[in-house]
A = this chain, B = another copy of it.
Amino acid sequence: MGASPRAVLARLDAARVRHSIAPGGFLSQYTGRVNPLIRDRDVDFLLYEVLHAEELCALPAFASHGRETFDPFIREARRLAREVLFPAYRPMDETPPRLKDGGVVVHERMRAMYPQLVALGLIAATRPEAVGGQQLPLTVSTFANAYLMAANLSAYGYVGLTTGAGHLIEAFGDAFLRETFLPKLYDGQWTGTMALTEPHAGSSLADVTTVATPAGDGTYRIRGAKIFISGGDHDLTENIVHMTLARIEGAPAGIKGVSLFAVPKHRPEGSALVPNDVAVAGVIHKIGWRGLPSLAMAYGDRNDCHGWLVGQEHRGISYMFQMMNEARLMVGLNAVATASVAYHEALEYARTRPQGRALNAKDPRTPQVPIVAHADVRRMLLRQKAIVEGGLALIATCARYADLAANGDAKSQQLLDLLTPVAKSFPAEKGFESNALALQIHGGYGYSSEYLLEAWLRDQKLNTIHEGTTGIQGLDLLGRKVVAGGGAPLQLLREEIERVCSSPGLDPAWTSATRRAFDRVVSLTMELGARGLSGDVEGMLLHSADYLELFSIVVIAWMWLAQAACALGKTDPFYEGKLSAAQYWIHTELPRVEQLAALCASAEDSYARVSPDAL
């Protein structure tokens, strides 16, 4: 018995080869079986058993849709993800885009994939038919996107950024921009970026210093420096539109003096496209998302960079904020997807890797058991499942609120606003833990770059940083969202949780624990809110990280109760898994709420008081 190291290395090499050429879908490196990326059964379960997505078609906007249009869209995305995007993941990770003659050259596999992503209609999937979209619910496109992100989040990135840029122009741009720029973005001829960050202004966008000078012809001349611009240059399309925050000369200081501009790489002059003085200053060497370049950019070095104001002067930050929920949901979904692909890899490994024996069966002559037989390995797997599938349920639930809100439901808008910081940060923070557990299950092999566990761990780390760090999500939740409207959103959330808790058949111990935890959230929020109202804003927000964590635990418990309610009384192992994960979360995580709440309410002030010199 026992493979020789040469055989092991040969197997690893074969896995690499398979990985890069796999014609019919990616094969698990260890067993040769397909990694599903996202479990198909879970997608159907969430869409049709938990969220009843077909009911969205009662809304006029989705009247022409139904399961007969949802399923083929998701199926095609899934196919593209498994057969095309996933096999290209490793080559793109190994050979990132490079700078050549002042421009960025992407991986050849990316050039081959981009038209296929466009052909799927992803960019404008959720946008109205009137602007060339498919008018699909975000609830549905979320699952399509999840497969693509799990397969190759960099490849998806070019599409997601373009959707975001187009949406800004669609919502706030004037007729010229909507007629000239928008169709090119939505049909994928051009791509888009979000050009917000500057070297000295990341989390603090109030400090943007890029300058826009009126040119007298309705356009502006832009001058300044941006950094960490994802997809800021590439050779996939003839043009790129940078949605750029800048300050019009003489504008007030702070966020109320920042405007939004569409700044193309090449500007249209008549029927021609001419260079628009947007230069690549350098490529950042990122540790993950390595198929999508992150650039430092210089605008207007030759004083010839034209920008088109989007919407009104000085309202750029407010426009960005209006798109922020969707952008943050997409980050959360990236995090879920990145944890999901690793979870499925770890699960397959655990089911097939023999090592050790049962605690009470020490006869060394018996064969070794697959490591999934060890309780602690199942613990690590069930924890990953709880995070991955709980996170996916939350993102999908938020997407449904977004669909309802976009069609006029104010309550859904309030719920979406409330839950977005959790939907962004929970998958990012716990997804990182989940990815680390997937690596841990692989032991020494997981520490090798022959397996992809380490690559997904690298990818995941960005999600706690971009689109507002976890620290900022905590401040947003406690300082803004839960105290909005006199606590009305929290009351709406109570109704949603109550609806699930009153489902027939749920274990009363589970529902009462969830209700009790939510009550604690409410009482804590009132206590902290009162502290803020009394003028002690620092004190109110001191434990915002702990508050975000306990709030997230309760939200995910709600998600697991909702899934458990749909799994009761069924015998399929799929439903058994749902009930096990629900039990795990409610027994293991929910009890932490009381302890974290006590901490938030306490006088614990160690890091408030400590002087920087004492650290």
Contact = CB atoms under 8 A, between A and B. Distances in A.
Interface in A508-548: 537-538, 541-542, 544-545
B606 A598 contact: no
Interface in A173-222: 197-204, 206-207, 209
A-B pairs, 5 with minimum CB distance = A254-B364, A5-B296, A577-B614, A584-B606, A9-B282
Interface stretch (A132-140, A154-162, A445-453): A445-453
Interface stretch (A63-71, A259-267, A461-469, A490-498): A461-469
24 contacts: A1-B200, A1-B209, A2-B198, A2-B200, A3-B199, A3-B225, A5-B226, A7-B199, A197-B444, A254-B362, A254-B363, A254-B365, A286-B447, A350-B612, A351-B612, A360-B538, A374-B471, A375-B541, A376-B471, A376-B545, A378-B607, A378-B610, A574-B614, A580-B606
A206 B382 contact: no
Contact of A2 (B201, B362, B580, B615): B201
B287 A454 contact: yes
A239 to B, nearest CB: 21
A234 interface: no
A563 to B, nearest CB: 13
Interface in A360-395: 360, 362-365, 368, 370, 372-382, 385
Interface stretch (A53-61, A105-113, A302-310, A588-596): A588-596
Interface string A465-477: 1100111001100
A439 interface: yes
Interface string A563-574: 000000000011
Nearest to A6: B281
B448 A286 contact: yes
Given A355-B202, A466-B444, A227 B5 contact: yes
A459 B275 CA distance: 44
B577 A588 contact: no
B203 A577 contact: no
B465 A447 contact: yes
A197 B355 CA distance: 12
A439 to B, nearest CB: 7
A359 interface: yes
A615 B474 contact: no
Contact of A288 (B372, B447, B450, B608): B447
A469 B465 CA distance: 29
A580 B607 contact: yes
B588 A225 contact: no
Mostly, the A contact residues are helix
Integer count of this chain's copies in the complex: 2
A271 interface: no
Contact of A9 (B8, B203, B281, B354): B281
Contacts of A544: 376
Interface string A1-19: 1111111110000000000
Contacts of A297: 5
Contacts of A381: 607, 615
A575 to B, nearest CB: 8
B615 A449 contact: no
A444 B183 CA distance: 32
Nearest to A614: B577
A68 to B, nearest CB: 31
A435 to B, nearest CB: 11
A573 B611 contact: yes
A587 interface: yes
A588 B604 contact: yes
A92 interface: no
A443 interface: yes
A253 interface: yes
A599 B286 CA distance: 40
A209 to B, nearest CB: 5
B365 A614 contact: no
Instruction: From A203, A297, A607, name the one whose CB has the most chain B CB atoms within 10 angstroms.
Output: A607
A587 B607 contact: no
Contact of A446 (B458, B465, B542): B465
Instruction: From A198, A378, A457, A581, name the one whose CB has the most chain B CB atoms within 10 angstroms.
Output: A378
Given A200-B354, A375-B541, A591-B598, 4 more contacts: A197-B444, A254-B364, A573-B611, A577-B614
A228 interface: yes
Interface in A215-245: 225-228
A544 to B, nearest CB: 7
B368 A200 contact: yes
Interface string A75-115: 00000000000000000000000000000000000000000
Instruction: From A5, A357, A581, name the one whose CB has the most chain B CB atoms within 10 angstroms.
Output: A5
A344 to B, nearest CB: 10
A32 B439 CA distance: 35
A576 interface: yes
A2 B287 contact: no
A428 to B, nearest CB: 10
A607 B584 contact: yes
Contact of A4 (B225, B385, B606): B225
Given A206-B364, A365-B253, A607-B584, A612 B372 contact: yes
A436 interface: yes
A497 B356 CA distance: 36
Instruction: From A580, A592, A611, name the one whose CB has the most chain B CB atoms within 10 angstroms.
Output: A580
Nearest to A358: B538
